[in-house]
């Protein structure tokens, strides 16, 4: 059983923090239809054509409820699910905020009907119509069709993102044959040039190293005016990257440095346009490990500082050593429910530093360029990535066999040159 398409209308009232939805879901399969919906929402009705269907609560969880529909006709694949609820604050690692001057929703899982409750990797297509106050700017993946507030997603995606606010101004620029745009809160508009330059520089460097970005995989940046209400990490969603305004202001106030190390606002999420979205990885930790490693390397290139990469590497050595003394499980055994930053980003990228020490940086970057060229728009597994690396880097099977299980290298004690 799977959801193939959502045709969803959202009526959002920011001042009240309320959301009301009508979702025409196209499904496949002939089993009992079960779906998950976040506990912030209540199901109002489920229809199939002119028929109202009965439903029941199948399982109650801490953050979501599983509903079961028994009397649906599997010959007709369209069901209409209507629900409503209040979404007035940030909750969990998935951004979900509605406040008087901001709407930000991310993640079908926990918030909108989904078959898979615990991940955002369920694939489907969807159409979206937003009913928002006038004079609001709405940014969301896909292409607008007809009405300003309606969007069509022309390829399968794994998540929904909506950011809408009356506080955003939009600026556009051409870069590497790509039309890029940035949505910036009015209160930091004086910094628009340095923000757009940072975005452009990230795209230019990735294009030089890995080749032109596939159309539709990048080119929109949002600095979301979350303030203290929402999380401050960034994320990438099918052509957009997003970051909160507090982190942006921190970088501006500190001359684009963190602990005296140069930092790009957009580089990490821009790299995902090539690795994580452009090339889709079956194992999400692999995308983050590659991106974290590349972010450090490319930061040195962007700032023309030959030792900044090693400064970054050494800046998280102590933290990683301390954490591994408590939890030494290999990266492959960990999920996003664990300490994702330490394991996926820091520990995962350490493997690539180790690989660089063996084969050299130039050959490793050439491997990434080839991976993007050959697999853009496709999904690749860790096993496939490992086999290609063995062949292209002339590595013995013994070296790569247990690479991310950390039996084939000593990431903590090996000196990196």
The model's pLDDT over 317-350, given as tens digits with 9 standing for 90+, comes to 777 777 767 777 777 676 655 566 676 777 778 8
237 burial via Cβ count (<10 Å: 0-12, 13-18, 19+):
buried
CATH no. for 2-166: 2.60.40.1730
In this structure, how many other beta carbons lie within 10 angstroms of the beta carbon of residue 387?
Answer: 13
Number of residues in the chain:
417
Q: pLDDT, tens digit, for every residue of 90-118? A: 776 667 889 999 999 887 766 788 887 76
- Determine which helix (DSSP H) or strand (DSSP E) holds 380, and give its type and residue range: strand 379-380
Q: Specify the fold of 167-273.
A: Zincin-like (3.30.2010)
Fold of 275-417: Neutral Protease; domain 2 (1.10.390)
Region of 267 (left: φ > 0; alpha: ψ -120 to 50; beta: rest) is alpha
Give the domain ranges of the chain. 2-166, 167-273, 275-417
Examine the pLDDT at 417 and tell me if it is beyond 50.
no
| DSSP label of 67 | E
Q: What is the pLDDT of residue 119?
A: 60
CA distance 229 to 226: 6
What's the DSSP call for residue 346? I
Mean per-residue pLDDT of the chain: 84
Is the pTM higher than 0.95? no
Rg (CA), the chain: 22
Residues forming a β-bridge with 102: 99
Residue-wise pLDDT tens digits, 209-218: 999 998 767 7
2-166 against 167-273: fold identical: no
| Contact present, 196 and 189 (Cβ < 8 Å) | no
| Residue range 146-168: mean pLDDT, rounded | 72
The pLDDT of residue 83 is: 95
Q: Which of 124, 262, 138, 254 is nearest to 198 (CA)?
A: 262
Sequential DSSP letters for 92-161 = SSS-EEEETTEEEEE-STTTS-BS-SS-S---BEEEEEEE--TT-EEE-SSEE-SSTTEEE--S-BS--E
Question: Which pLDDT value is given to residue 411?
Answer: 53
Q: Is the pLDDT score of 18 beyond 80? A: yes
What's the pLDDT score for residue 385? 92
pLDDT for the residue 301? 94
Helix (H, G, I), strand (E, B) or coil at 74: coil
Looking up tokens 């690539």 gives: 352
- 361-375 and 192-210 helices cross at what angle (nearest 10)? 90
Which of 89, 97, 107 shows the shortest CA–CA distance to 36? 107
Strands 379-380 and 280-281, by their bridges, are: parallel
Report the share of the chain in percent with pLDDT over 70: 85
Higher-pLDDT residue of 126 and 404 is: 126
Q: 354-384: per-residue pLDDT in tens?
A: 888 888 999 999 999 999 999 998 999 988 9
User: Are the C-beta atoms of 368 and 290 separated by less than 8 Å?
Assistant: yes
416: pLDDT confidence band, cut at 50, 70 and 90? very low
């Amino acid at each position: 059983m799977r959801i193939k398409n959502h045709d969803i209308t959202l009526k959002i009232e920011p001042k009240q923090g309320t959301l009301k939805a009508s979702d025409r879901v196209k499904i496949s399969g002939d089993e009992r239809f079960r779906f998950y919906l976040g506990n912030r929402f209540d199901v109002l009705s489920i229809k199939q054509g002119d028929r109202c269907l009965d439903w029941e609560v199948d399982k109650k969880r801490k953050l979501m409820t599983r509903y079961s529909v028994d009397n649906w006709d599997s010959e007709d694949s369209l069901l209409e699910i209507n629900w409503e609820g209040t979404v007035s604050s940030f909750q969990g690692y998935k951004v979900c905020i509605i406040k008087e001057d901001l709407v930000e929703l991310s993640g079908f899982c926990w918030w909108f009907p989904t078959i898979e409750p615990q991940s955002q990797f369920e694939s489907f297509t969807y159409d979206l119509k937003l009913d928002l106050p006038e004079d609001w700017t709405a940014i969301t993946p896909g292409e607008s069709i007809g009405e300003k507030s309606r969007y069509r997603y022309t390829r399968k995606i794994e998540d929904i993102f909506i950011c809408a606010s009356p506080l955003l101004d939009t600026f556009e620029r051409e870069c590497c044959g790509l039309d890029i745009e940035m949505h910036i809160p009015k209160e930091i508009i004086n910094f628009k040039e340095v923000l757009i330059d940072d975005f452009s520089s990230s795209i230019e460097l990735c294009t030089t190293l890995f080749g032109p970005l596939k159309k539709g995989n990048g080119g929109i940046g949002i600095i979301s005016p979350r303030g203290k209400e929402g999380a401050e990490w960034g994320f990438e969603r099918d052509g957009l990257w997003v970051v909160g305004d507090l982190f942006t202001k921190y970088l501006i106030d500190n001359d684009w440095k963190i602990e005296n190390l140069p930092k790009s606002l957009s580089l990490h999420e821009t790299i995902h346009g090539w690795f994580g979205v452009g090339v889709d990885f079956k194992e999400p930790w692999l995308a983050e490990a590659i991106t974290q490693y590349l972010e450090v390397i490319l930061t040195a290139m962007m700032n023309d500082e030959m030792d900044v990469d090693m400064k970054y590497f050494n800046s998280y050595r102590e933290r990683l050593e301390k954490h591994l003394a408590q939890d030494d499980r290999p990266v492959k055994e960990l999920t996003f429910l664990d300490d994702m930053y330490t394991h996926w980003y820091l520990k995962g990228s350490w493997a690539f530093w180790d690989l660089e020490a063996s084969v050299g940086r130039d050959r490793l970057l050439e491997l990434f360029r080839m991976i993007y060229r050959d697999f853009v728009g496709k999904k690749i597994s860790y096993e496939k990535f490992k086999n290609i690396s063995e062949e292209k880097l002339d590595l013995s099977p013994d070296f790569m066999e247990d690479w991310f299980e950390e039996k084939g290298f000593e990431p903590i004690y090996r000196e990196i040159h």
